[in-house]
Chain A
Amino acid sequence: MTTSATIQNSMTGDNALPLRPPSQVMNLERLGALHQSRLSFMRTLVRRIMRERWQIEPARLDLDADGYGTVVYEVKAPNGLFSFVLFSHYLAPENRNDRVIANEWDLTMALVEGRVDDSYLEQLHQNVPLQEAGRVDSRVFVLSRANRSARTFDYVVDQLARGEQPDVERITKVGYLYRTTAVYGSGKLGMADWEKVFSKHKDFARPFAAEMFVCLMLRNFSLLQAEHIARHKAPDTFQTMQPEIKRHFGIGNSTGLGMAPFLVNHPVLISQWIGMRELALARIRVLGGINSLVKQTLNTLIGRCAQHTRDTATEDAWQTASNLQVLVDLDALQSYVATDFDTWDGLIAWSEQNCSLQGQEMLVSIMLEIYPELVDDLEDFHNVEELLDLDPIMPLVQLKEVIETRYNWALATDFNAEGARETCWYRSEEKMEPRLGNSADEEAKQKQMAMGVGYAVSKCYDELCRYITEHPQQNTARFMVARPKMRGIVRRIQTMNRCIYGDIQTNLLDRNVLPIHLLRCKLAFFGVGKFDPRSRLWVRNTMFQGAPLLEDIGKAFNDDWFMPIAPKQGRPC
């Protein structure tokens, strides 16, 4: 049985497995090359729903012929009953805006504990459609909104109304009927705090499980609504959508800079997520047996990943080039596997010599896919208590050594070089949206967020070196009394020294920083695919494409929706 103690023993000490080093893994460009895996939160959520056979049924379905109205699903999970509440409205095309600053949407949604009566539903109706401008109470634990895809929604409705199936090739280019533009949880807007969700609602007591669930429910509703409208539009000719095509619809997502500070502000949590992925890889490298079936599965998955990559539509030149390189990598990988593959260590070493970072990380995700028995139990260890504790007794000489060892990347950065501190991150007065600015802008510079961890460490190190020459015998507590402005960064340094992976190793203040890597890293842990960067600051992607449908719950489930590819058009149901 896997416990926190056995995990600890696998990661440190004499019995530790060969983990990849932090200097390799915590490199920002590599983090920005991560892909979905079977440890991604969407995968773990769907596994839980399918294995526990959650009962999800509509308790209220008040939709007019155009699909506008109120819908409530009751969700019976093993540890509680929840309600998914959705309001669908007419939205004028000119008001459809994906940015966080929008104030009207096609759909708004809430996940609520317990059953919703008429009175509470009315209360939700007064507030949920307002999103940030409304208030909810602690019975609600996720709030979200979504907009229809102008490229697919009406087209799909028209096809179904005519009794025809949507064209798979056309659907593949977009991948969804709705795009969510924000998913809020963790106590925002009066909702339940994560502490409550974690301690009271065991069914959602994993990071972002409730938020992912709302997106899954949105995906289900988007299909139901399209069919509903088509049925009312042409009852005589309407046909339902084939399940294979339905499963190929995911939910679109636009993610901007708002997600980036999370990775810097939650270093212990991020280190834990990375740690579980790396532990899974290390287990496979040591314990993953290789036989003809494994080789065949590997080969199949490489082919699937290649097709998935070919199916990914993007206009972004960098992502296009990157995807083309991944295809080259996968092709080379397939050739290598056919001839020289006999150990995972050998394959990893070969990929590090011959593949791009995206190709290398694609291989890691594939490897995880092959060994559920070595991987899946780690899904229960993504939570961690995020305490940044000072170690007051640590001698200053040791603190200095810790910085030199764990933050050598920061000490190696010349923060006085041109452009090294040119970027500043700040919050706009417009919905407190995080934005990037130039340090030449005095207001932005003065009000910047504390994103420059490397720079702060470097300044702390200089201060510490000066102090230590006069007080070589003192400990951290004494240093904190003398230099209280260093307290925050020292506490972080000491805490991250207790984590395996620690901080992201990059200078986020650099002129050429690519925030999109931060977004991509977190999105990969969520489990999204089909990355389509719209600039270096925001990215479109697809969630839950290929996942089982609600009507699949209770049926056979092989948990095989990794890197989904398009179904064949016209294949019978």
Chain B
Amino acid sequence: MNISMNELKAALRRCFEASQYFGGNYEDAANMILWLEKHGLKGLAELERLLPYITEDTDKQLSSMLYEDSASAIIDSHGRSALNCIAASVDLAHAKALINGIATVTVHHCHNRMFVLKALTDRGRCGISVAAYWQNGTHTVTEHVAAIKAGARYPSYSEAVTNLSAGSDLKQTLTIICSSRVDLTASLQLSKGNRNARYISPDDVAENKAHSIEHGIEIERDLWDRINQIGTGILVENNDQSRQGAGY
């Protein structure tokens, strides 16, 4: 079925609010998913993978700082989804880069790292260059890199299947590099045994956005119903007392 971007955003906000995401964070989560989908980067597919675990982050420890100096930091996200922790890590990289020229923040134990693209794009728009790198996969390892130039509106993104062995230390790790002095236009090298490499340029991302604006978003009915069903958790039962609060 076809829905508008606004409908998707509103439904996602309700969904994450009902899943106990805190204020400010459920908006971020909704925006991160919408951003990916709107720009042709499969945000709904990523959402579908995380939906079975959507309420689990409530019981997890908040991110903690493992190491920090003026130009770098290591953060443990304790298995949280990037939806509710990654934006703060990108902001931290931004702040450190403004002071030092370049900064690195490594985030461990973080799921759904694809959602970093929205946070990264926000920082790029604010005038700083950012790149992010991560690996994924239990059996076959894929690697991913996203980057945006300072002041740009759209990032690039590339992914490839590697010949790396599973169980790498980098599993569930995301590395963010941020610079106020260097334009980081990162992409994956093809000469390192990578297969099925895919590169999406900023122009491609912009074109995908134009299509979504014109035509809206395609979504499977079942996924749409599941999002809305979770969102009903924030609605209050309709009764006589409640109707008085509507003013009639």
Contact = CB atoms under 8 A, between A and B. Distances in A.
A199 B210 CA distance: 10
B45 to A, nearest CB: 21
Interface string B79-97: 0000011011101101110
A193 B2 CA distance: 12
Contacts of B92: 392, 477-478, 480-481
Interface of A is mostly: mixed
Nearest to B234: A447
Interface residues of A, number: 59
Contacts of A536: 247
Contacts of B1: 135
B5 A187 contact: yes
Given A393-B99, A476-B95, A487 B235 contact: no
B186 to A, nearest CB: 21
Nearest to A258: B246
A427 B238 CA distance: 10
A200 B214 contact: yes
B27 interface: yes
Interface residues of B, number: 49
Interface stretch (B17-25, B48-56, B108-116, B162-170): B17-25
A138 B242 contact: no
Contact of B87 (A199, A427, A433, A487): A487
A256 B247 contact: yes
Contact of A433 (B3, B98, B99, B246): B246
Interface stretch (A47-55, A270-278, A311-319, A435-443): A435-443
Which of B27, B235, B247 counts the most A-chain CB atoms under 10 A from its CB? B247
Contact of A196 (B63, B85, B214, B233): B214
Interface in A388-443: 389-390, 392-393, 426-430, 432-433, 435-437, 441, 443
Contact of B63 (A190, A192, A389, A484): A484
A186 B213 CA distance: 12
A450 interface: yes
Nearest to B22: A485
Given A188-B6, A200-B214, A437 B245 contact: yes
A367 interface: no
B235 A488 contact: no
A534 B63 contact: no
A137 B216 contact: yes
A230 to B, nearest CB: 33
A263 interface: no
Given A195-B213, A392-B94, A190 B242 contact: no
Interface string B98-124: 110000000000000000000000100
B65 A481 contact: yes
A195 B65 CA distance: 39
A52 to B, nearest CB: 25
B22 A480 contact: no
A191 interface: yes
A135 B219 CA distance: 14
B40 to A, nearest CB: 16
A99 interface: yes
Given A196-B213, A429-B232, A476-B91, 19 more contacts: A190-B2, A191-B4, A193-B213, A257-B247, A390-B87, A390-B91, A392-B95, A393-B94, A393-B95, A428-B236, A428-B242, A433-B246, A443-B236, A444-B236, A485-B23, A487-B24, A487-B25, A491-B24, A538-B248
24 contacts: A99-B246, A188-B4, A192-B4, A195-B213, A257-B246, A389-B126, A392-B94, A392-B95, A427-B234, A428-B238, A433-B246, A435-B246, A441-B241, A444-B242, A477-B94, A477-B95, A478-B92, A484-B88, A485-B23, A485-B24, A487-B25, A487-B28, A488-B25, A492-B24
Interface of B: 1-7, 22-25, 27-28, 62-63, 65, 75, 84-85, 87-89, 91-92, 94-96, 98-99, 122, 126, 213-216, 232-238, 241-243, 245-248
9 closest cross-chain pairs (CB), A and B: A488-B24, A537-B247, A187-B6, A187-B4, A477-B95, A435-B245, A392-B91, A429-B235, A392-B95
